[in-house]
Structure 1
Amino acid sequence: MTADRSVVIGLDGRVGRIVLNRPHRHNAQTPQMWRELREAVDELVSDPDVRVLLVTGAGPSFSSGLDLDERLPGGLLHETATSDIDAATDAIKEHQANFRRWCEAPVPVVAAVHGTTIGAGLQLALSADIRFVANEAVLSIPEVSLGLIPDLGASVDLPRLVGLERALDLILTGRRFNGREAVELGLALRSVPAAELEEAALGYATALAQHSRLALGKAKSATRETDPVANLAYAARAQAECVKDVFGRGV
């Protein structure tokens, strides 16, 4: 992928890097970025040597949310407002699938979150599996204060991470909080000074990448399954596959 794209990728050993690449707009998101994000995930996980994905944002912010130009004719918000409800719903579902593609990826996703991380920016970080966040980051889910709702995954991820009451507090008030509070709330694994964020997140991702890709992916998928019966059924089959992979060679 070339540098003029809004998402660029790279490799650091067994860690696949995904970089949101609109620093001049604080990585404000567009449907094109979401399509490129899906393409980036698919390209990286097609490499059998990639065992972890690390997502970061170029420039001063992880992502400031949806690009405000999407309000203009031809933009996402304008098209949604002028379409009938069924057509708009179908379009939003397609955007959700692109946006959350890495939830289905067969490897864990680590997000390194810094600077302004608002709205769709925070929803993107929440959809990763593990989050490292800068102490000084500014985070918020402000959609309700704008007359909208978070539709890209916060309604799924926030209750799972912090419980229903705290999730509703963050969504209904849209209040801002920093990286330290994100850890206190349970939204991030670790909070570090911004200057140390890249090293900390990459070090963690690199350590994970020493493990079996099969075991990493199966453990991720089992943990994301919320139904207990389905979870145990999945874990049983996944364990059988892992045992066969580890101990069945040459048998």
Structure 2
Amino acid sequence: MAEVVAGGFEHVRLVRHGEAGHVVEVVLDRPDALNALSQAFAAELRDAFVAIAANPVVRAVVLSSSQDRAFCVGADLKERNGFTDAQLRGQRVVYRAMARAFLDVPVPVVAAVAGYALGGGLELALLCDLLVADTTAVLGLPEVSVGVVPGLGGTQLLSRRIGLGRASDLILTARRLTAAEADGMGLLSRLAEAGQARTVALDVATTIAGHSPVGVRNAKRAVRLGFDTDLASGLEIEDGAWRATAFSADRAEGVAAFNEKRRPVWPGTP
């Protein structure tokens, strides 16, 4: 069951999936511009993800597009064409707040990419925890070819996914990747058949939402915080996540359900 959630947005649709609404789909819906990110569009995405982060019912998020041709082609360069320096600085504040809102969501976010995911479009996907793409996807960071650099985390997030050398190659040459090439580099979490990115992403999100909410949130936090630190510090972060989960009501329910051979009914509280 899917239910459209009224959010007061022009270019973003929120759709709840399942009877409990534990999975929320954020649909990029500016088809006339191939989901190019205008300042207003970015502000809507910021507000949508801030609201999702504050909603304790949500256990997983899918970021998708309303069209198959493009996930998102990046920043709206037509809008920027007449910008003054002051306007560009103002837009930068909105863009950074949007990126921060993605990263601050405490539950897993799954990108469902079909068609073009270029520049800021690929960066939106990189801001997600998992990246599902189908065989129609074309991915790249072409910013240096138009006189800018990736500015939604691309220079940092891409290297963390595929390594410094490969990320430097893609960013500095501005070349595009097919989905198969991206998968071979380890950029994708899963490669889907044509037309199946959204279906696979929703399946992944539904699976995640069926697990312990406390465990999933703490596991995401440990993975994110531990990635950029040394092993000893990372293990301390993991221990904190383990303790926060092991003494929760979710752990008690999980053990009881296993022994009683039934599906757990998660309390979802520490």
Name the TM-score class by shorter chain.
0.7 to 0.9
Q: Deviations over 1:157-209 (max 9, x none)?
A: 11101110100000000111111111111111111222222221111111111
Aligned match of 1:11: 16
Q: Which runs of 5+ in 1 are unaligned?
A: none
- Matched residue, 1:70: 79
Letter in 2 for 1:235: E
The answer as to 2:246 corresponding to 1:238 is no
Deviation (angstroms), 1:41: 1.5
Pairing of 1:1-251 with structure 2 (within 5 A) = 1=6, 5-13=10-18, 14-59=22-67, 60-73=69-82, 78-79=83-84, 82-83=85-86, 88=89, 92-225=92-225, 226-228=228-230, 229-245=232-248, 246-247=250-251
Compared with structure 1, are the counterparts of its residues 134 and 3 closer, same or farther at alpha carbon in structure 2 (3 Å cutoff)?
Answer: farther
Q: State the shift of 1:234 in Å.
A: 2.7
TM-score, normalised via structure 2 length: 0.82
Paired residues of 2:43 and 2:94 also in contact (CA < 8 A): no
The alignment yields a C-alpha RMSD, in angstroms, of: 2.1
1: CA distance, partners of 2:154 / 2:71: 17
Q: Give the number of aligned pairs.
A: 240
* Compared CA separation, residues 204 and 126, structure 1 to 2 (3 A): same
TM-score by length of 1: 0.88
Distance 1:231 1:212 in 2: 22
Contact 2:39 2:94 in 1 (8 A): no
TM-aligned CA deviation for residue 94 of structure 1: 4.5
CA contact (8 A) 2:42 2:94 kept: no
Dislocated runs of 4+, deviation >6 Å: none
Q: Give, in angstroms, the shift of residue 57 of structure 1.
A: 0.9
Instruction: Give the aligned residue type for 1:53.
Output: V
Query: What is the CA–CA distance in structure 1 between the aligned matches of 2:214 and 2:55, rounded to whole Å?
Result: 13
Following the alignment from structure 1 to structure 2, what is the Cα–Cα distance between the partners of residues 117 and 91?
A: 21
Gapped regions of structure 2 (runs ≥ 5): 1-5, 254-270
Flag the structure with more relative contact order, 1 or 2, with Cα contacts below 8 A and sequence separation at least 6: 1
Q: Which amino acid aligns with 2:27?
A: V
